[in-house]
Structure 1
Amino acid sequence: MLLGALLEKIEDICILKCVLRVLWLHSQKTGFPRFLSYEDLSNDTTIRAVTSADIDKVDRGLYDVLDQMVSMNILIGIDIRMDEGPQEIYMPNTQEGRRAVRYFQGQGLYMEHSDRVRDLSSGTTLKPNIFSLYEDSIGIIGHIVAEELKEAENQYPSTWIEAAFREAVLNNKRSWRYVEAILKGWSREGKGRSNGEPERYSKRPDSREWIKRYGLPRPSE
């Protein structure tokens, strides 16, 4: 998760304080998978102080704040099976957090249709944005690349972006320049289909022309 991009989308000071505290608490955990239980959060004096009242002395409640952070894709919230019963846990919505969810699913510990936590089966919590796609496909996001990612997210359909990252991975070309070249190629060669999927064009440039235009090898068909 890129902190700069995260801070830009948060306008509520209460949410901002909780996000910073949750990220710090999570960083203190060791091993894998790392997560924070609801009890970890509710017992934290800083979290309790922030969620009991914001700057306008309006009662917020921890559940309300956590639900908003999950809705904003800042946190992942799930229930897992434990010996003592179901446990509600939270993790930052990062590559590590999504890998932890897959781990719990693989171990048969992930509980669907939780009464208290957003259901991951709906796809809303783990829907990838361009930053998570970059982290999963390429690696750590630098400041300069982050600005380019934000521009690309505003310029291209999300289905194009997902498909471009997928094609880069399949071709073992894990670089933003390669993904960007794919997107520019689709944009210049024509519009996508009505369903949002990038179409293949009959008059694509040959390999030499592609390198001349974009400075990278042409993606495979």
Structure 2
Amino acid sequence: MIPFTGFPAGKTRFTPLPDLFFTALLPAIDDLAELKLTLYMFWLLNRQRGYPRYMTQAELEAESLLLTSLQRGYEGNPLVILRKAVEKAVARGSLLRVTISDESQRTDYLFLNTPQGRKAVEQVKSGELVLETKGYVHEAPVERESPGIFELYEQNIGLLQPLLAEELAEAESTYPASWIVDAFRIAAEHNVRNWRYIKSILERWQRDGKDDEGPLTDRGRRRRRIP
């Protein structure tokens, strides 16, 4: 282990991170390489100026600091580890990828999933924004993971208060993910944006069953209804 001497006194540069990173994204990431990559992308793009802000896959693979970081705690080629981390981040939705290819080359462009990143991706796809590589623009299909309960809360209700985090985590471990998504959707459709309403929906489904599904047992296992 290399000891860290601490942050120096005086003027120091900072990299801003949105609160949603800590309340929704950080609890969901279960791979250290993906976490390192995500943080590194925030740092890299914050140092860029202008619009759009992105990194190509080739540029990332030339980042010696990132590759050195990925070597610690892992066995194998750091480039392979990095590529797997990129795939996980794209599948999760924290990174957006646009691939531009022509007869001679293929370039993967990576953006953070921020309002600016989403805008840039849409402009590239529509032809309004042209990047360095010209050619056919396409996005590789990825299977998105369902949003976690913390992300759903902040998207539909507002800023998550720390006192509520434990209760949300308990609900996430108790109810199926599809139930949680549906409960938030129903609350939004009825314009009732508070956790108590959503919690009451989940508790009713647990007790009486949801649609044609049976209720949940105390251990969270679904019982079949007897015809």
TM-score range, shorter chain: 0.5 to 0.7
Are the aligned partners of 2:98 and 2:121 in contact in 1 as well (CA < 8 Å)?
no
Are the aligned partners of 1:77 and 1:90 in contact in 2 as well (CA < 8 Å)?
yes
User: 1:170 offset after TM fit, Å?
Assistant: 1.3
Aligned in 2, Cα 1:87/1:148: closer, same or farther, shift over 3 Å? farther
Task: Please give the per-residue CA displacement for 1:12-47, whole angstroms capped at 9, x wherever unaligned.
Answer: 554443333223334456788754432442343321
RMSD between aligned alpha carbons?
4.1
Q: Within 2, Cα distance between the matches of 1:26 and 1:143? A: 29
Alignment gaps of 5+ in structure 2: 1-19, 128-136, 215-227
Residue from 75, 85, 97 that aligns with 1:78: 97
Tell me the matched-pair count: 184
User: 1:166 offset after TM fit, Å?
Assistant: 0.9
1:176 matched to which residue of 2? 195
Residue from 84, 104, 108 that aligns with 1:64: 84
User: 1:165 offset after TM fit, Å?
Assistant: 0.8
What residue identity is the alignment partner of 1:64? K
Task: Please give the per-residue CA displacement for 1:39-74, whole angstroms capped at 9, x wherever unaligned.
Answer: 4423433213224x2345632312133224445x26
Question: How high is the sequence identity, in percent, across the aligned residues?
Answer: 29
1:208 matched to which residue of 2? none
Task: Please give the per-residue CA displacement for 1:89-115, whole angstroms capped at 9, x wherever unaligned.
Answer: 33456xx36982896289546724x3x
Q: Within 2, Cα distance between the matches of 1:195 and 1:105? A: 43
Task: Please give the per-residue CA displacement for 1:156-195, whole angstroms capped at 9, x wherever unaligned.
Answer: 122221111111111222222322222223323x012456
Q: What SS does the corresponding residue of 1:90 show, helix, strand or coil?
A: strand
Q: What SS does the corresponding residue of 1:163 show, helix, strand or coil?
A: helix
Residue from 168, 185, 188 that aligns with 1:166: 185
Q: Within 2, Cα distance between the matches of 1:31 and 1:175? A: 38
User: 1:151 offset after TM fit, Å?
Assistant: 1.3
2:8 matched to which residue of 1? none
Q: What is the TM-score with the length of structure 1 in the denominator? A: 0.61
Query: Mean alpha-carbon deviation: is it higher for 3-12 or for 173-182?
Result: 3-12
Q: What is the TM-score with the length of structure 2 in the denominator? A: 0.59
User: 1:8 offset after TM fit, Å?
Assistant: 5.1
Aligned in 2, Cα 1:131/1:34: closer, same or farther, shift over 3 Å? farther
Q: What SS does the corresponding residue of 2:155 show, helix, strand or coil?
A: helix
1:47 matched to which residue of 2? 66
Alignment gaps of 5+ in structure 1: 197-221
Aligned in 2, Cα 1:7/1:27: closer, same or farther, shift over 3 Å? same
Aligned in 2, Cα 1:86/1:26: closer, same or farther, shift over 3 Å? same
Q: Within 2, Cα distance between the matches of 1:6 and 1:90? A: 18
What residue identity is the alignment partner of 1:89? Y
Does 2:122 correspond to 1:104? yes
Q: Within 2, Cα distance between the matches of 1:160 and 1:56? A: 37
Aligned in 2, Cα 1:160/1:57: closer, same or farther, shift over 3 Å? closer
Q: What SS does the corresponding residue of 2:151 show, helix, strand or coil?
A: helix
Aligned in 2, Cα 1:107/1:8: closer, same or farther, shift over 3 Å? closer
Q: Within 2, Cα distance between the matches of 1:33 and 1:167? A: 36
